[in-house]
């Protein structure tokens, strides 16, 4: 009902891969940092939150894409929020059914997925303008990128803060856990370190591309 001409994107590998690297929701777009910092004190929490967010991203993206021609622009935000809240409620029940311990560990952050800007951002910027396959593949890529970022933080924080990964202890009994890493400041330290690494890799890639372009220019 928007009455606007919008370029429909073809589904390519890039539709999925963009979310992993080029437009990674955490390391590049810096979105949804609240759960990224709060629940990544262990790998299993990070994985569960990543999968829960991916489920909501894909489901809401699919439904919004299907209904995109029926949703008037004036009420679109209210509609998206209701759709996202529905799938968050569903994922809330599903996690309770899968594991109560996990549900208690994730606490209020499951319900707070409703206000995760990655999801509303994808709904507004992509799913509401694209056909179902593109919306689903893009949401899967974004979810995978978000989960990857959470796992990057969760594994490092659990390894340093508790000496284990997924609950399996990797060091001898002499290892003194670096408790600060599982506390809130540890989230900022590890996120900062990963951002530094991502920025370094990005700049290195840009330098290489520049050098290659220069060689081509001189060679021709």
- By CB under 8 A, is residue 111 in contact with another protein? no
Which one among 20, 29, 37, 89 touches another protein, defined by CB under 8 A? 89
Among 12, 34, 77, 107, binds another protein (CB under 8 A): 107
Q: Using CB under 8 A, which of 30, 93, 175, 188 touches another protein?
A: 93
CA–CA dist 51, 118 (Å, integer): 14
Interface residue with another protein, options 75, 166, 197, 213 (CB under 8 A): 75
**Rule CB under 8 A: which of 112-141 touch another protein?**
none
* Per CB under 8 A, 45 contacts another protein: no
Contacts with another protein: how many residues (CB under 8 A)?
32
Instruction: State the nearest-atom distance from the C-beta of 96 to another protein, in Å.
Output: 5
Stretch in the footprint of another protein (CB under 8 A) among 92-100, 121-129, 167-175, 202-210: 92-100
Q: Residues of 98-136 as b/e, b for ≥16 C-beta within 10 angstroms?
A: eeeebbebbeebbebbbebebbbebbeebbbbbebebbb
Whole-number minimum distance, CB 83 to another protein, in Å?
Answer: 7
Among residues 165, 183, 195, 198, which is the contact residue for another protein, using CB under 8 A?
A: 183
Choose, by CB under 8 A, the member of 96, 170, 175, 209 that binds another protein.
Answer: 96
Report the interface residues with another protein, using CB under 8 A.
1, 3-4, 41, 67, 70-75, 78-79, 82-83, 85-86, 89-90, 93-94, 96-97, 99-100, 104, 107, 161, 177, 179, 182-183
């Amino acid at each position: 009902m928007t009455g606007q001409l919008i370029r429909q994107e073809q589904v390519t590998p890039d539709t999925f891969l963009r979310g992993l690297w080029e437009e990674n929701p955490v390391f590049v777009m810096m979105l949804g940092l609240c759960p990224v910092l709060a629940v990544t004190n262990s790998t299993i929490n990070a994985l569960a939150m990543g999968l829960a967010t991916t489920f909501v991203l894909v489901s809401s993206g699919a439904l919004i894409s299907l209904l995109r021609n029926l949703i008037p622009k004036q009420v679109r935000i209210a509609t998206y929020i209701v759709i996202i809240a529905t799938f968050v409620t569903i994922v809330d029940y599903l996690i309770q059914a899968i594991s109560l311990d996990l549900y208690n560990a994730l606490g209020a952050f499951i319900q707070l997925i409703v206000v995760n800007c990655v999801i509303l951002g994808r709904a507004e910027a992509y799913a509401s303008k694209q056909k179902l396959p593109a919306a689903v593949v893009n949401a899967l890529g974004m979810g995978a990128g978000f989960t990857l970022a959470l796992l990057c933080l969760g594994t490092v924080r659990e390894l340093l803060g508790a000496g284990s990964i997924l609950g399996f202890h990797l060091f001898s009994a002499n290892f003194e856990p670096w408790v600060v890493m599982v506390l809130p400041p540890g989230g900022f330290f590890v996120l900062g370190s990963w951002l530094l690494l991502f920025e370094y890799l990005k700049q290195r890639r840009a330098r290489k591309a520049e050098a290659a372009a220069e060689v081509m220019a001189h060679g021709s």
